[in-house]
Structure 1
């Protein structure tokens, strides 16, 4: 077995290279079915002859596969991480890591890919991030080879994700990344409320944003020194999950800025839509009435962000705020110090509905991976595909990556219930906090590169608190995912043009959004703001995206 030093040795990388140094790929002949042919016999070294879904992959001879690894400063890879050793024991595959720091991981990844120095496996890729590398041929058109990935095919079908996969297609009809699959998809971030205080003032858990406003007004009367609603993520989290109720998209979910107008049958620019204005006007009204903590919309984590919101929650100055299930733990820790354990009730609620309906974000994927295109010439090509199919989509592998080794770090009951052994902790989710060894920081399980990808509902529920399971049930039973925008993949020239237009437009939207909400710009200037977007090329940009949509629809029936 190779040593940890060998596995984690950083490969020499030309990080000073520019985007112009794209990797040139030798041509492969296209088969009659439009897929790319490979020499299966010559390129199946190490592959299993019969590899099926839900089976253990074990290479027929030892393999070494290179992988890009993002280093979080608070979770450094150590010699004691057993995750890599267990993967190698079970599969015969040793992972050789190329490390990039979290602080500039995206930029370093781009440089490595463009210089032709990227490892074979490029993880932590979200949909859309592959687009800049398609035209150069630097990444593999992986849709040509999914016949070698039975787990991926099985769970796409079982979890009804086929239409979503089709939306990954680029202008050539192929897709270049495989995402993390989710059996159930609910917003990770929504609103966390002090339910005990809402009950105290006679305000039920809000179903709509108007319900929330009513509850905030009652809380403000009872706690006049409070500004009861906060975000903690510069407004980007709250606007993200609020936007759908107003028929638009905003914040973290602004995307490329275009949104489908069903009535008009075309895309429009979200930041100039009536729904966007309604959303901005609503939040401005909260600010005017002292119901929204403006600091939490403007300050980053240092002095006014999520940590500051937790302090305000503990001091009875904030009673509803954005967050995830992990944020609930942060708020609870702060409240234990002031209110006392058991003296409060925190609930993560489904995103409130509004004038557009009881809508939440479209069903989505989690991070997945790309492959460097030169793997298509490797004698280990099929074995690499089989290994990644097991690693990313096999349910036993996914459970292992989250929890470790059954019987060693955790036990599993006949009904599927997973229990972490008492000598181990999982600090991220406050499981066994007195355990001497944390499965993530000490052993490498539940790491952010591999564990946070494909999940069944059962696996997702296994490490989350019962309150989050209730949140999942509530969202699935009372909210409707908004339909995603129709696919509009751009060709190389269009991508370049779109990139020149999209950034100044989105920057202008973000700046004006905060100005309108905080009262630094009067809403009477809305038309002037839209004119500014027009002057920045909004119509040209939307026409470009909508033209790509029309072309793709025509080409794909």
Structure 2
């Protein structure tokens, strides 16, 4: 099994590396509506595909069934969206559209049970679905015969920049059943860039009052919390809570300090990376350090005595009331009335981990599937490839530029004198967004990463966007990230402030190595789920006992043996095998 997965990664890598050998000697045609090249320097191929899709040769207009669901901000019915009308005109096709609505999972199951798949599905299937309906049942189209410079030049160009997206899309047999949606890295743009798991804030006023520096190690973190407890720098008396753990952010912070990254953690039941290997944190010696740290903090009053029962609203209310010195949360909003007093904490090292690192979120997701029974695979490949062009990506997300030949409804976008984007709907309704009325559906297809820069090029105005370099602390790779909205660094309100402080805390400690989706067969998934149900519940139950002092830590070895008896090693081996190709490709193991 490991050999098969390694071969899948080898095939995926060779597919990207072979691009130069099979590329054409002449650049492709420029985009309709603009002559700008894409930001990677390669010429955009948004026009050439219409000549090879097959629609013209049959003499009849092909009809394609497409199932998707609307973006949550969308106000226009699916069949009335400009983008589909544009595709119909550009590729000489007709779409039969189905809005999946809120109950999309049920509808997807109906498709497969009835063996009646739409030609195109823009929706989220699991990797197990890909294994079941692609590898085993053959109901999903394998994209690999069409992934070449002639049929899908834009996709192949994108995958040069995002080889990890290709790896994540490739099943163990070397086939691709889902094409990735490329979001790309965006500098400090909410959870789309910097670590979405490490979000811990500290009151710098309190820190100054206890005369201590920002913690860099786990021991220093605990010492700062002790100082807050002993000196009460906020003068809140019995209401004092040195550390508040909302959304399990403190737990994840401690696991990260112990050397685990690549996924988020609560009690250590999510697979992660440590020492270039796949590990289950709960079944490692570091799990004892995790328990010991939280047990110490609870015993010394550094956490609320109601630590295990506090809900999110109460945690945030305590922060808002000024009772808390350090808090974990996805947002700084609980401290919106004292936002200037807060800084974000950087990743920590510890006695068992020398490297301070946090992973960024992946710049891609999976979401374009096609029925293997479609009559028009080449045509669909051309349509989807268009969405990986700069023009296609821009049109999919925001529609056409005002006054362009492609504008049909008088609602094209334009660039205002201040450099911002707008359209008629936005001008009439301040609540409306640039997506309303133009974007096809929820963002699951094509590329997003070049859209902002391309719009400036298309409009013929200077690009005012900043680009900042982020260096991967593990690989040394440097990535240029666009700052799509410089105003978020104005530091003039709590929302901007948390982005400023999060950026400052994280920018020197980031890695782009993150665990991709894992492909398990239906049998493997069932076996893994059975183990997970038992093991996760037991880990959660027993870890809480250790932290609360209800079970002594000198029973840790016995606890690890109990996990072994539950089959934890077999459980781990399933995922080690499934991730072996990724680990080999990433670390050269």
Alignment TM-score, normalising by the size of structure 2: 0.64
2:222 aligned with 1:213: yes
Instruction: Give the 5 Å matches for 1:157-236.
Output: 157-158=160-161, 161-163=162-164, 165-184=166-185, 185-193=193-201, 195-201=203-209, 202-220=211-229, 221-223=232-234, 224=237, 225-233=239-247, 235=248
Distance in 2 (CA, whole Å) between partners of 1:238 and 1:390 is 44
2:257 to 238, 242, 245: 245
Native 8 Å contact 1:231 1:297 kept in 2: no
Paired residue secondary structure (1:138): coil
Instruction: Label 1:198 to 1:88 Cα distance change in 2 as closer, same or farther (>3 A).
Output: farther
Paired residue secondary structure (2:384): helix
Instruction: State the Cα RMSD in Å.
Output: 4.8
2:152 aligned with 1:149: yes
How many angstroms does 1:320 deviate by? 3.6
How many angstroms does 1:287 deviate by? 2.5
Native 8 Å contact 1:190 1:241 kept in 2: yes
Report which of the two structures shows the higher radius of gyration computed on alpha carbons: 2
2:542 aligned with 1:508: no
2:284 aligned with 1:273: yes
Distance in 1 (CA, whole Å) between partners of 2:293 and 2:167 is 36
Instruction: Label 1:284 to 1:489 Cα distance change in 2 as closer, same or farther (>3 A).
Output: same
2:561 aligned with 1:531: yes
Residue number in structure 2 paired with 1:88: 85
2:303 to 269, 278, 292: 292
Instruction: Give the 5 Å matches for 1:238-387.
Output: 238-240=250-252, 242-248=254-260, 251-252=264-265, 257-258=270-271, 262=275, 268-293=279-304, 304-305=311-312, 307-324=313-330, 327-328=331-332, 330-331=333-334, 335-336=336-337, 339=338, 344-354=340-350, 355-356=352-353, 357-361=355-359, 364-374=362-372, 377-379=374-376, 381-387=377-383
How many angstroms does 1:199 deviate by? 5.0
Distance in 1 (CA, whole Å) between partners of 2:440 and 2:552 is 47
Instruction: Label 1:109 to 1:441 Cα distance change in 2 as closer, same or farther (>3 A).
Output: same
Unpaired segments ≥5 residues, structure 1: 1-33, 36-47, 426-431
How many angstroms does 1:421 deviate by? 4.4
Distance in 2 (CA, whole Å) between partners of 1:89 and 1:297 is 54
Distance in 1 (CA, whole Å) between partners of 2:160 and 2:268 is 27
Instruction: Label 1:273 to 1:345 Cα distance change in 2 as closer, same or farther (>3 A).
Output: same
Residue number in structure 2 paired with 1:54: 44
2:440 aligned with 1:436: no
Residue number in structure 1 paired with 2:37: none
Instruction: Label 1:194 to 1:553 Cα distance change in 2 as closer, same or farther (>3 A).
Output: closer
2:488 aligned with 1:465: yes
Paired residue secondary structure (1:511): helix
1:203-242 CA distances to partner (integer Å, 9 max, x unpaired)? 5444444443333334442244232433432x2x444454
Distance in 2 (CA, whole Å) between partners of 1:452 and 1:252 is 31
Mean Cα deviation higher: 345-354 or 252-261: 252-261
Instruction: Label 1:83 to 1:203 Cα distance change in 2 as closer, same or farther (>3 A).
Output: farther
Instruction: Label 1:371 to 1:90 Cα distance change in 2 as closer, same or farther (>3 A).
Output: closer
Unpaired segments ≥5 residues, structure 2: 1-13, 16-27, 32-41, 56-60, 186-192, 403-410, 451-479, 490-495
Higher RCO structure (Cα 8 Å, ≥6 apart): 2
Instruction: Give the 5 Å matches for 1:96-111.
Output: 96-101=97-102, 109-110=108-109
How many angstroms does 1:314 deviate by? 1.6
Alignment TM-score, normalising by the size of structure 1: 0.67
How many angstroms does 1:533 deviate by? 1.5
How many angstroms does 1:272 deviate by? 0.9
Distance in 1 (CA, whole Å) between partners of 2:140 and 2:433 is 33
